Amino acid sequence: MKAIGFAQPLPIDQPGALQDIELPAPQPGPRDLLVRVQAVSVNPVDTKVRRNAKPAPGQFRVLGWDAVGTVEATGAQVRNFQPGDRVYYAGSILRPGTNSELHAVDERIVALAPKSLSDTQAAALPLTSITAYELLFDRLGVAHGGGAGQTLLVVGGAGGVGSILIQLARQLTQLRIVATASRAETRQWCLDLGAHLVVDHRFPLAAALREEGIASVDMVASLTQTEQHYEQLIEALMPQGKLAVIDDMPVLNAMPLKSKCISLHWEIMFARSSYETPDMHRQGELLAEVAQLVDAGRVRTTLGEQFGRIDAANLTRAHAFIESGKAQGKVVLEGF
């Protein structure tokens, strides 16, 4: 089967950073679906793994976690899907990725794809939807329909996770949503998705919030450049507030959180599948809920750019674009 992989960690502008390769088709395990991949999206985690992972000598690492495709075969213990089902999901970071014609994935983290979206539109959603949903409801502990009188600050509102987090918070809670964005087009993007207010993260955030009449916020979803904004986020949070983060930092000193009794929450959507937690099936369930919201017209795709078919050249362009920090919404590729 066709696939795209890398043999050594290289900067994206180096020849061979990503390569077109041929691999044997995967064999599904007892709880696996074998999916013929139709569309994939590219996430910051793709670029991080490409820069840092070292495949075994002579081996290739296949990246990609988001996918939309058609079930071709099922393992002996699969109960919820059958061949011909159109599905979407974000796979496990411990297994080969979705940048391949065929992909094996545990059925517990899969859902039927939204009927109202094309493959390209649907491929933008899984990883960021899971991350945003878990961050909002599992990490920050907001109740469905709750949050009245509380303010959520979303740092990096126009990115992949921010774009779906704003929508889920607006549709499923009563939170006041303040997003950050630095360009006119990303500011409007956040407002269109449901943010009540947008402030510019190029300036001190606590001061920017005060200028808008917001003395403090109850919770923060810091989705990018947390290290840069850390002191400002602590200043902006009210005592006993909550800070949730997803990005990687060389170090995070939690001591400044102590005086305000601010709680710190990490979100990584790969935890459930990596450890096969007892609630691993929740990821499939929440993707099914997101599909229902999409088909009801309450949540829209976060597709930002379509980069053509799935091959090394187009994935190289997509990785470079993600690394530029200029992406709005998600970058998606379709077809082999």
**Could you tell me the pTM of the whole model?**
0.96
Tens digit of pLDDT per residue, the chain (336 long)?
999 999 999 999 999 999 999 999 999 999 999 999 999 999 999 999 999 999 999 999 999 999 999 999 999 999 999 999 999 999 999 999 999 999 999 999 999 999 999 999 999 999 999 999 999 999 999 999 999 999 999 999 999 999 999 999 999 999 999 999 999 999 999 999 999 999 999 999 999 999 999 999 999 999 999 999 999 999 999 999 999 999 988 888 999 999 999 999 999 999 999 999 999 999 999 999 999 999 999 999 999 999 999 999 999 999 999 999 888 889 999 999
Q: Which CATH number fits domain 128-266: 3.40.50.720, 3.40.30.10, 2.40.160.60, 3.40.50.1980?
A: 3.40.50.720
Whether domain 2-125+271-334 has CATH 3.90.180.10: yes
SS (H, E, C) the chain: CEEEEECCCCCCCCCCCCEEEECCCCCCCCCEEEEEEEEEEECHHHHHHHHHCCCCCCCCEECCCEEEEEEEEECCCCCCCCCCCEEEEECCCCCCCCCECEEEEEHHHEEECCCCCCHHHHHCCHHHHHHHHHHHHHHCCCCCCCCCCCEEEEECCCCHHHHHHHHHHHHHCCCEEEEECCCHHHHHHHHHHCCCEEECCCCCHHHHHHHCCCCCEEEEEECCCHHHHHHHHHHHEEEEEEEEECCCCCCCCCHHHCCCCCEEEECCCCHHHHHCCCCCCHHHHHHHHHHHHHHCCCCCCCEEEECCCCCHHHHHHHHHHHHHCCCCCEEEEECC
Sorted by where each begins, the domain ranges of the chain are: 2-125+271-334, 128-266
